[in-house]
Structure 1
Amino acid sequence: MLENKKILLVDDDDDALQAIGARCRSVGMQVFTARNLLTALGQVEKQRPDVVCVDVQMPTGNGIGFCEMLANDHSTAHIPRILITGNATAETQDSARRLNAPLIPKSMNVWETLLPLLQQVAGDSPQTTSKAQSPKANLPKVDLAATRIVLPLPLAPKQSDAEPEVASAATIEADQELLLDSVFAMLGSELGEDEAEFQTYDSGQEETPPWVLCIDDDADFTDALRCRLESHGVAVVRAFDGMEGYRTAFAQPARAIILDFEMPNGHGDYVLRRLKENPVTADIPVVMLTGNKDRNIQRRLMALGAVAYFNKPVRFDQLRGELSNYIEILDTPLVSD
């Protein structure tokens, strides 16, 4: 029985959310939805669903990475995960098998395949309750080719008193920091259960050529900066949003970090605070960049632990001079700038 079981549907396709959500309600399930992975993580923390169904292709990440985060967090690892995709590549299928997550095609007959899976992983049938085993065990195998049929199943009629539960823009904004805390906490548990594997920044221990991490969503700017720094003997690793930058900094502590203030998935001030709170990254010097000339922002960033603050467009000689306080950097470029 699926009566009153909680399902979280994660998909940026409104039609898919409505169609699958209506079907789930027709069998008595409580439906929660999310159109991006950040909101989805917040819903997992708040609702503790009995099963999660997530699209592989999402605008700010992918469903496989989301499922990996759930699997690697002890508080959510028990939640069964089902992946839906419109492009079942060999790599995607391998990832799904590794996660022990059923992978079903996003087609018009998706419900015909999804319902038996829900009954298996979330239902209270005698078969599932009589065995003391994880809800992930013995998941049915899905033949991706065999599930494609020509005629779609009719959708269940919409119920006027059961509209999809979607967080308003105001609610999402109000809960943004809480959601980010959940994301960064999961990243920390995923990457750093044994922090002894990593060493914090110590200029006396580095023998390899210096490298810096540049966290900025402006690809053109970071590419130009990478070329300039490499010509002065400094390697550059780029990340394009807050979560990606934090993950990279945590897994591979850089000699210095160049961090933009305004970015998706975690503004620079939030990322800076999390970097300084974590013993693995706390000692890495962070240089902040922003196009915002508000002096209050500058004071806040410096109070959070930034070593310097520059307004965009920043002069390269200023940035190079600041970085030279923490890494060895050539005064004269190897090739003409």
Structure 2
Amino acid sequence: MAAQTPQTILIIEDDPVIRGILHMNLTDQGYDVLSAEDGLQGVRTAKETQPGIILMDIRLPNITGWEATRRLKVEPKTAQIPIIALTAQSTSKDLHRCFESGCDAFMTKPIQFTQLFTKIEMLLNRSLDHSQGIAE
């Protein structure tokens, strides 16, 4: 089910190749895409634009994806934005840390785009349902 207006996705990823691949695949699916190259820039961009969802690399310059997620989840303007952690680390400790920091979902690299699109739609729909529930 496609949304009436394009959803904006913020990619916070320091690797330009991965960022470009994500951007291309997401725009091909009809999303508006913003990007940031490090954790601090990502937090700033999220606060300024309030995207529909954030794809968060974990190993980032300046501050880690874990720290960026914590900062966004305590900020009232960004606390409800779903965050999907993207990482090459896939141990149970990493998964625990993902949810402990406030991420809503977890994906390992290399990215399986069919799974990513499913998670994005699930989280966007959940966010939409939550915001409509508050308005009613």
Same fold per superposition (TM over 0.5):
yes
2: CA distance between counterparts of 1:209 and 1:311? Answer: 26
Retained in 2: the 8 A contact 1:290–1:310? yes
Q: Secondary structure at the match of 1:327?
A: helix
Q: Equivalent residue for 1:215? A: 12
Name the structure 2 match of 1:306: 103
Give me the whole-angstrom Cα distance separating, in 2, the residues matched to 1:321 and 1:209: 16
Give the match for residue 251 of structure 1: 48
Count residues with an aligned counterpart. Answer: 123
Pairing 1:297–2:94 present: yes
Corresponding residue number in structure 2 for 1:265: 62
CA distance in 2, matches of 1:285, 1:313: 21
Task: State the Cα distance separating 1:300 from its structure 2 match.
Answer: 1.4
Q: Which residue of 1 aligns with 2:30?
A: 233
Secondary structure in structure 1 of the residue aligned to 2:122: coil
TM-superposed deviation, 1:267: 0.4
Establish whether residue 279 from structure 1 lines up as the match of residue 76 from structure 2.
Answer: yes
Q: Looking at CA atoms only, which structure, 1 or 2, has the larger radius of gyration?
A: 1
* Residues 87-120 of structure 1 deviation map (CA, whole Å, 9 limit, x = unaligned): xxxxxxxxxxxxxxxxxxxxxxxxxxxxxxxxxx
Q: Deviations for 1:131-170, whole angstroms, at most 9, x for unmatched residues?
A: xxxxxxxxxxxxxxxxxxxxxxxxxxxxxxxxxxxxxxxx
CA distance in 2, matches of 1:327, 1:231: 17
**Could you tell which deviates more after superposition, 248-257 or 302-311?**
302-311
C-alpha distance in 1 between matches for 2:124 and 2:25:
15
Distance 2:94 2:19 in 1: 22
Alpha-carbon RMSD across the aligned residues, in angstroms, is 1.5
Deviation at 1:311, TM superposition (A): 1.1
Q: CA deviation at 1:207?
A: 6.0
Residue in structure 2 matched with residue 133 of structure 1 by the alignment = none
Unpaired runs of at least 5, structure 2: 126-136
Deviation at 1:245, TM superposition (A): 0.3
* Cα distance, 1:228 vs structure 2: 0.9
User: 1-side partners of 2:65 and 2:34: how far apart?
Assistant: 17
Query: What is the match of residue 316 of structure 1?
Result: 113
Match of 1:288 among 68, 72, 85: 85
* Partners of 1:276 and 1:283 within 8 A in 2: yes
Q: Tell me the equivalent position of 2:131.
A: none
Question: Equivalent residue for 1:81?
Answer: none
Which amino acid in the other structure matches residue 221 of structure 1? I
Could you say which structure has the greater relative contact order, defined with CA pairs below 8 angstroms and 6 or more residues apart? 2
Q: What secondary structure sits across from 1:324 in the alignment?
A: helix
The Cα shift of 1:327 comes to 3.4
More helix per residue: 2
- SS of aligned partner of 2:81: coil
TM-score by length of 2: 0.85
